[in-house]
């Protein structure tokens, strides 16, 4: 049976995962980095492991330049806590919309985050991440849903309404 302390720990871990997904999609450096301990290592995002600080410096401008929109979703989150460490496996489904001169392409990535969370200074955050690719595809967007011309577009910065809530 899970006690209230473990429920609280699990909630903090899931909140960190969601802070990352919001941050990567809104291009919000603070939201991304708040999910990680300083110096946390990301593996399989490039040829060499990199600290979170280098990842943010590279990834956010690259995503902004290349993609019109992104959406990262995490599910099937499994949290295994032992003392001051946790193994967390999350399935990730990420969509990236690239604008061409006369077309849009949808890049879809489906894989897993395998994260080591650590309890440091009273906070559960990611200390190391491994990314795994289960499958991916690229397809042309030839037709959009009815209504897409009138829906308000999301923003990929602090102009998004999610940031106005506490003002």
CA torsion through residues 22, 24, 27, 33, sign: positive
- Domains by residue range for the chain, with CATH: 4-159 (3.10.450.50)
Give backbone dihedrals phi and psi of 10, rounded to 5 degrees, phi first.
-60, -40
Rounded to the nearest 5°, which phi and psi values hold at 46? -175, -170
Determine what percent of the chain is predicted with pLDDT higher than 90: 78
How much is the pTM?
0.92
Average pLDDT on 99-123 reads 95
Pairing of strands 123-141, 36-43: parallel
Asked whether residue 124 carries a pLDDT value surpassing 80, the answer given is: yes
Tell me the per-residue pLDDT of 48-84, one tens digit each, with 9 for 90 and over.
999 999 999 999 999 999 999 999 999 999 999 999 9
- Residue 139 has a pLDDT of 95
DSSP 156: S
């Amino acid at each position: 049976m899970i006690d209230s302390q473990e429920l609280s720990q699990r909630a903090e871990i899931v909140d960190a995962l969601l802070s990352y997904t919001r941050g990567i999609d809104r291009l919000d450096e603070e939201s991304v980095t708040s999910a990680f301990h300083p110096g946390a290592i990301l593996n399989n995002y490039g040829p060499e492991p990199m600290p979170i600080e280098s990842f943010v410096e590279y990834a956010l401008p690259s995503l902004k330049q290349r993609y019109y929109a992104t959406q990262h979703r995490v599910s099937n989150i499994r949290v295994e806590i032992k003392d001051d460490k946790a193994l967390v496996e999350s399935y990730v489904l990420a969509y990236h919309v690239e604008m061409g001169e006369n077309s849009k392409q949808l890049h879809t990535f489906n894989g897993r985050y395998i994260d080591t969370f650590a309890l440091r200074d009273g906070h559960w955050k990611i200390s190391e991440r491994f990314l795994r690719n289960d499958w991916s595809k690229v397809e042309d967007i030839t037709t959009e849903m009815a209504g897409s011309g009138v829906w308000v577009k999301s923003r990929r910065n602090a102009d998004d309404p999610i940031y106005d809530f506490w003002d």
